[in-house]
Structure 1
């Protein structure tokens, strides 16, 4: 199975642009028309709320309170990981929420040192979360120097309905290429660092070419730059009576990405979910897209092993 086309991925630059735009439109057309947070349909037929809530770097002692507040605000998609150390707090919040399990979408992830120990690692996460299944289980990083990510993926493929969907994080085109050559199941998701200053277009293009939905982590730039100081973002915020963060979240949504901003403050949770009563114009979208400057805040996928 390959994502290689007539060129490195698609062909000529014009063909790459046209196919990328068509893929983005296809993703947007998959959104449900229901009220509230829209859903994206994945390549396995499952659906995922397009806007979720992340708990990266949320203190384990604070996780229960933070996730409880997020659920109260209206989030139903929670993204955690084994390495965050807060799965238990997330699980306690879920258990106490009274929200039917089928209304929640819970993601967790396999850490790099467990690529050859998927079954045990996954069961540990389920136990900490207090769940019988997760909606999405991801290989957290390819860790290419260890060269075990294909074996890890084969382990995920064996989890069955205990992981309703499976996917990857931080996979570059070359990692996807190698994985897809040996995979039985195409990943449903590729979760990558993505924000206006780092758009990882090669990874987005390779994912979409294989039918893989793109999720944005660090969607607001992880505090590395002042959103309000970026003229296109500030102008759009003024035009729509919104905050710069709301404008950037809207940019992700209109690009068809799944996005889950993180905050520990309830007022920010409310702000971040209040993004469905306006739409950025094509000109505003293009101006924000032009902010690309390869400003990576997290690790490079080839360096974290």
Structure 2
């Protein structure tokens, strides 16, 4: 169980990834730079971005402004759907690295399982990993059947599967599948895009003296799920990290898990159109 912000998950290739990171989806116009710098100053050591977010340059600037050693940070970005395929993925990676201003990347993900393309995309990620440009490679939004298909054609097992995961979408079968294969599950949209007014979360917030957001982040961590709550507000970024001074009881963890409705706020990976 993560007990401090510096705690890390050991991935299946031995690389260590922080349990808590900052997500920067939709953060632009300089907000992402402020958010990244504020997060690092608050103790965060992981930042998650993507080519399609259009803010890799701002993230890179935030990293530089924070002024800490690069080897203390864990930076993730993702190849977008339109760039999938072997050669196009390699080009997309180069473009992302130039925008970030980095020589090496900690984690590179396939953003979505684009049919008839994600296998070739994965082969490009394997090359980047073997050539030393990336410390770890993984996937995002992959169902079990996508992972099974990838397994037939790959030599390297993904270290991470980043998926929509929150109290209304616990993905129990996928979580168990990944755990059995040492694939670290990572939650995007852990705070349900702000839909945190559920009576149980409010009640538990009052019980533990925490906000519903902090309750959910703590629930993620106790379920051994890496979590990357998004915020551009320095005060909220700090609050989201104040989850290491308490622990939910096993009973309360189960109560939150029982809220599952298989409800998505984002697209289903089997039915997305972008």
Name whichever of 79-88 and 69-78 sits farther off: 69-78
Maintained 8 Å contact 1:192/1:214: yes
Q: SS where residue 135 of structure 2 aligns?
A: strand
Correspondence list, 1:175-214, <5 A: 175-214=146-185
1:71 CA drift (Å): 1.5
**Aligned-residue CA RMSD in angstroms?**
1.3
Correspondence list, 1:179-258, <5 A: 179-223=150-194, 225=195, 227=196, 229-258=197-226
Unpaired runs of 5+ residues, structure 2, are: none
User: For the residues of structure 2 that align with 1:49 and 1:61, how far apart are their CA atoms?
Assistant: 25
User: For the residues of structure 1 that align with 2:120 and 2:53, how far apart are their CA atoms?
Assistant: 23
Correspondence 1:84 to 2:66: no
Correspondence 1:264 to 2:232: yes
- Residue 298 of structure 1 corresponds to 266
User: For the residues of structure 2 that align with 1:202 and 1:148, how far apart are their CA atoms?
Assistant: 25
Maintained 8 Å contact 1:60/1:85: no
Maintained 8 Å contact 1:171/1:203: no
- Residue 57 of structure 1 corresponds to 26
- Residue 6 of structure 2 corresponds to 37
1:206 CA drift (Å): 2.2
Q: SS where residue 71 of structure 1 aligns?
A: helix
Maintained 8 Å contact 1:170/1:190: yes
Unpaired runs of 5+ residues, structure 1, are: 1-27
Of 157, 160, 168 in structure 1, the residue corresponding to residue 126 of structure 2 is 157
- Residue 120 of structure 1 corresponds to 91
Of 41, 52, 64 in structure 2, the residue corresponding to residue 95 of structure 1 is 64
1:159 CA drift (Å): 0.4
- Residue 20 of structure 1 corresponds to none
User: For the residues of structure 2 that align with 1:265 and 1:288, how far apart are their CA atoms?
Assistant: 26
1:128 CA drift (Å): 0.3
Correspondence 1:285 to 2:253: yes
For residues 31-68 of structure 1, give each alpha carbon's deviation from its aligned partner in whole angstroms, at most 9, with x where no partner exists: 6x7x5331000000000000000000101432212211
- Residue 22 of structure 1 corresponds to none
Distance 1:60 1:183, change over 3 A: farther
User: For the residues of structure 2 that align with 1:110 and 1:60, how far apart are their CA atoms?
Assistant: 21
- Residue 70 of structure 1 corresponds to 39
1:97 CA drift (Å): 1.7
TM-score normalized with structure 1 length: 0.85
TM-score normalized with structure 2 length: 0.95
Of 133, 138, 149 in structure 1, the residue corresponding to residue 104 of structure 2 is 133
1:233 CA drift (Å): 1.6
Q: How many residues align?
A: 269
Maintained 8 Å contact 1:232/1:284: no
1:139 CA drift (Å): 0.3
